[in-house]
Amino acid sequence: MEALDYHAEERRKAEFNLDEMKIVWAGSRRNYELSDRVARLVASDPVFRKDNRTMLTRKDLFKDTLRKAAHAWKRIIDLRLSEEEANMLRSYVDQPAFTDLHWGMFIPAIKGQGTSEQHEKWLPMAYKMQIIGCYAQTELGHGSNVQGLETTATFDPQTDEFDLHSPTLTSSKWWPGGLGKVSTHAVVYARLITGGQDHGVHGFIVQLRGLDDHLPLPGITVGDIGMKFGSGAYNSMDNGLLRFDHVRIPRNQMLMRVSQVTREGKFVQSDVPRQLVYGTMVYVRQTIVSDASCALARAVCIATRYSAVRRQFGSQNGGPEIQVIDYKTQQSRLFPLLASAYAFRFVGEWLKWLYTDVTQRLQANDFSTLPEAHACTAGLKSMTTSVTADAIEECRKLCGGHGYLSNSGLPELFAVYIPTCTYEGDNVVLLLQVARFLMKTVSQLGSGKKPVGTTAYMGRAEHLMQCRCEVEMAQDWLKPSTILEAFEARAVRMSIACAKSLGKFSNPEDGFAELSPDLVEVAIAHCQLIVVSKFLEKLQQDIPGKGVKRQLEILCNVYALHLLHKHLGDFVATGCITPNQGALANEQLRLLYAQVRPNAIALVDAFNYTDHYLGSILGCYDGNVYQKLYQEAWKDPLNDTVVPDGYLEYLRPILKQHIRTARL
Ligand SMILES: CCCCCCCCCCC/C=C/C(=O)SCCNC(=O)CCNC(=O)[C@H](O)C(C)(C)COP(=O)(O)OP(=O)(O)OC[C@H]1O[C@@H](n2cnc3c(N)ncnc32)[C@H](O)[C@@H]1OP(=O)(O)O
Ligand SMILES: Cc1cc2nc3c(=O)[nH]c(=O)nc-3n(C[C@H](O)[C@H](O)[C@H](O)COP(=O)(O)OP(=O)(O)OC[C@H]3O[C@@H](n4cnc5c(N)ncnc54)[C@H](O)[C@@H]3O)c2cc1C
């Protein structure tokens, strides 16, 4: 019997080759095949079931996470999965766990900041998971201000050891994932002190728990910091607290690629920039951008599929009502998010390339592109996560009342996703880093130093400051060069206007603080330009498959024009475009939505998400939403009994009070 598919008609409408689009989304045929295989492997394994997750108590959820992590590790070993496949498997398991920090931060920190001897000693044990590590940087009193950390690592030349100490309550490590209950080791960030001199924050490998009994080592106080936002969600993670009471570690456990302490206690700063101590954060920020496209695509897939099933109003002569996806308001809220998912995918690919490039350069002691890599990873992490967090909530609203049900998948996705706006750098703090980079670039414009990379457009500031947009008809907005110039002109004009305002302050730092809200907007304009330009660059590539490139062009235009419409004030105020040209952009946007409409379901099918990964009744592939919702309701523990627990104690006395009243 053929399986029921409520989306069959929608799928028939698609005007492009879905299989080829799946490959574009995955990045290559190889990536597609790997990811498809691993996703199905996870989906078919009962240990990775997650539909009951939000019902579990914290302790049960945590134990379930340990079980899944252990099972995942067994599968990785048994199937001899590569590092890439193993990462995919963990991400499809879709439950935050200590392993994220072990593989995602502990190992990269040692790789990036350790010497080759330290690599040889620690990495083999870490790769085999004979030790499990976390990244212990943030403290109770300081997260954003890394230079304000208080934990000390004081060198003792008598014993050739560091003494790690938490001198105040606020110096307690607070938040590191995997620290609370699991990690045997941590890369701890502490102030290095030699001969009474403070050399700032450095990384140290510290053992926390016994490898035989898992008990904290002497001088170490460690535990979980408590429940976090939402049910299920990030509560599977043991974010921890940690205090040191004069804990001793050998000198060779300081990560010494950036700076060294000699046997005599001499501090040596190598010619590597001190910012490499922040290198792990740059790495993770880059991965967060790719992850943003996955999370956004997931929410959009749910909302799009559901919007095609859901009908409200407009029945004619007893015929079916209108699919809510056909309402123009629904389209104007949903399709820009669909376009953003694709846009973030491509900018994530590019950022991965940039990161690989900077890493290779660093290995060859070329540090020239580090500031650009920092600005791009910080800015794009901030911009993509803020958009995605808001978009998940918008997708919940797009699904009406059923979006609020836990089994829509959206509440948990929201709860698990929103801390990305805070961790790996608060989004505002990171945008201010981008703004600093931009202001520095503007200040150097007259010096003959040519801006390169993502700020190359500033080298054309003279033209961009006075150019006039030539759009006369709505369709003129489809020209890539017109779109690009509008975004470049807006970004450069906002940057230069801010730089001029900064120049009015006698103390630049006072000016930076006073103008910081405007500087954040400048940084966002620059980041949006990067995303638009990388989408346009993607379209320059040879993209095979019937209609695939055409759909991507439509999505790219939707992405750019919806931003233009949303930030029309910026574009008009800086004189890049006229209000009439803004109205024409909006007119074109409406036409583009009509072109997305028949392809919407296929465009979300291209994400190739399994029903297991989506974890949503509203978003399931076959669209059989109502029957599944009905069946699922009966599985709720409240429906285990017809009369609820507590009836006799609490309900019956109220319901029977009229009898007592009548007797009085
Ligand atoms: C398959 C892989 C899966 C991976 C999965 C991973 C799992 C993810 C789970 C995530 C869990 C969360 C973990 C965490 O949150 S870890 C803690 C993260 N903490 C932060 O991000 C703190 C944010 N704060 C900072 O980064 C810095 O303190 C800040 C940049 C804000 C300021 O630093 P500082 O005061 O030292 O800097 P200045 O402003 O004075 O700037 C000095 C110059 O240094 C440049 N700079 C700053 N940062 C960097 C960097 N990272 N790289 C390069 N350069 C940097 C800055 O631009 C200044 O340059 P100029 O002097 O030229 O202006
Ligand atoms: C789920 C989760 C997991 C985490 N995992 C880890 C981990 O594994 N390891 C680890 O070390 N840390 C971890 N962290 C900590 C995380 O990195 C920090 O919370 C984050 O860097 C933000 O720092 P903060 O908490 O000090 O925020 P704060 O800096 O105190 O931010 C509070 C407010 O002040 C504003 N603000 C701060 N400074 C400025 C400024 N200069 N200008 C303008 N506004 C400013 C911010 O925008 C924000 O609105 C985790 C956090 C969370 C939520």
The catalytically annotated residue of 161, 394, 412, 424 is: 424
pLDDT digits (tens, 9 = 90+) for 305-340: 999 999 999 999 899 999 999 999 999 999 999 999
Q: What is the mean pLDDT of residues 35-58?
A: 96
Does pLDDT of 615 surpass 80? yes
- Closest Cα to atom 20 of ligand 2: 423
- Find the 32 Cα to ligand 1 centroid distance in Å: 32
ipTM reported for the complex, 2 dp = 0.98
**Cβ-proximal residues to 95 (8 Å cutoff; 6+ apart), any chain:** 50, 53, 64, 65, 68, 236
177 is in an annotated binding site: yes
Structure tokens at 197: 């001199």
Please tell me which residue, 657 or 456, carries the higher pLDDT value. 456
Residue 563 near residue 532, CB atoms below 8 Å: yes
Does pLDDT of 661 surpass 70? no
pLDDT digits (tens, 9 = 90+) for 197-243: 999 999 999 999 999 999 999 999 999 999 999 988 999 999 999 99
pLDDT at 191: 98
| Ligand nearest the Cα atom of residue 225 | 2
- Find the 498 Cα to ligand 1 centroid distance in Å: 24
- In testing the pocket of ligand 2, which one of 95, 107, 138 has its CB within 8 Å of the most ligand atoms? 138
Phi first, then psi: what are they for 161, rounded to 5°?
A: -130, 165
**Cβ-proximal residues to 306 (8 Å cutoff; 6+ apart), any chain:** 398, 399, 402, 403, 408, 618, 619, 625
- Find the 433 Cα to ligand 1 centroid distance in Å: 9
pLDDT digits (tens, 9 = 90+) for 429-475: 999 999 999 999 999 998 888 999 999 999 999 999 999 999 999 99
pLDDT digits (tens, 9 = 90+) for 348-363: 999 999 999 999 999 8
| Closest ligand 2 atom to 135 CA | 9
Q: Which helix (H) or strand (E) holds 287?
A: helix 279-309
Q: How far is the CA of 655 from the CAs of 75, 241, 627, 658, 661, in angstroms?
A: 56, 49, 34, 7, 11
Q: Answer yes or no: 424 catalytic.
A: yes
| Closest ligand 2 atom to 234 CA | 1
Between CA 146 and CA 151 the distance in angstroms is 11
The one-character DSSP state at 656 is: T
Average pLDDT of the chain? 97
- Find the 624 Cα to ligand 1 centroid distance in Å: 46
Q: What is the mean pLDDT of residues 1-8?
A: 82
pLDDT digits (tens, 9 = 90+) for 252-280: 999 999 999 999 999 999 888 999 999 99
- Closest Cα to atom 4 of ligand 1: 104
Between CA 230 and CA 500 the distance in angstroms is 45
Q: How confident is the model at residue 660 (pLDDT cuts 50, 70, 90)?
A: low
| Closest ligand 1 atom to 137 CA | 17
Q: How much of the chain, in percent, has pLDDT values that exceed 70?
A: 99
Residues pairing with 38 in the sheet? none
Between CA 47 and CA 488 the distance in angstroms is 50
